[in-house]
Structure 1
Amino acid sequence: MSTAVATRFKARLLRPAQPDKATWTFLLLPAAASAELPTRSMVTVEGTFAGQPFVATLEPDGNGSHWLKVDKALREKAGVCAGEMVALQIAPVAKEPEPKVPADLKAALAANAGAKATWKDITAVARRDWIHWIGSGKKAETRVKRLGVAIDKLACGNRRACCFDRSGRYSKGNMGAPEAAVEKGAE
Structure 2
Amino acid sequence: MSTDTRGRHTESIHCRSTLFSIGVWTILRIAKEASSQLPSRGLVSVEACINDVSFRTVLEPDGKGSHWLSVDKALQDSCGIQAGEAVELKLTPLTDWPEPEVPEDLEKALMLDPGVFALWKDITTLARWDWIRWIRSTQNRETCMRRIDAARDKMAKGERRPCCFNRNMCTEPEVSRSGVLLDPPKE
| TM-score of the pair, normalised by structure 1 | 0.87
Q: Which residue of 2 aligns with 1:5?
A: 11
Q: Is the 8 A contact 1:60 1:175 kept in 2?
A: no
2:180 maps to which of 158, 168, 176: 176
Percent identical = 42
Which range moves more in the overlay, 82-91 or 172-181? 172-181
- The 2-side partners of 1:132 and 1:108 are apart by 16
Contact 1:40/1:167 (8 A) holds in 2: yes
Aligned length: 177
**Deviation above 2 Å: which 4+ runs of structure 1?**
1-4, 172-179
Higher relative contact order (Cα pairs below 8 Å, separated by 6+ residues): 1
Q: How does 1:1-187 map to 2 (within 5 A)?
A: 2-16=8-22, 19=23, 22=24, 24-168=25-169, 173=177, 175-182=179-186, 187=187
Unmatched 5+ residue regions in structure 1? none
* Alpha-carbon distance in structure 2 between the residues aligned to 1:173 and 1:121: 33
CA distance in 1, matches of 2:127, 2:89: 28
Cα shift at 1:137: 2.0
Once superposed, what is the RMSD of the aligned Cα atoms? 1.9
Q: 2:124 corresponds to which letter in structure 1? A: T
Task: Say which SS state the counterpart of residue 82 (structure 1) adopts.
Answer: coil
Change (3 A) 1:84 1:32: same
- Shift, 1:174, TM fit: 5.0
Q: Measure the CA separation in 2 of the matches of 1:174 and 1:158.
A: 26
Which one has a larger percent strand, Structure 1 or Structure 2? 2
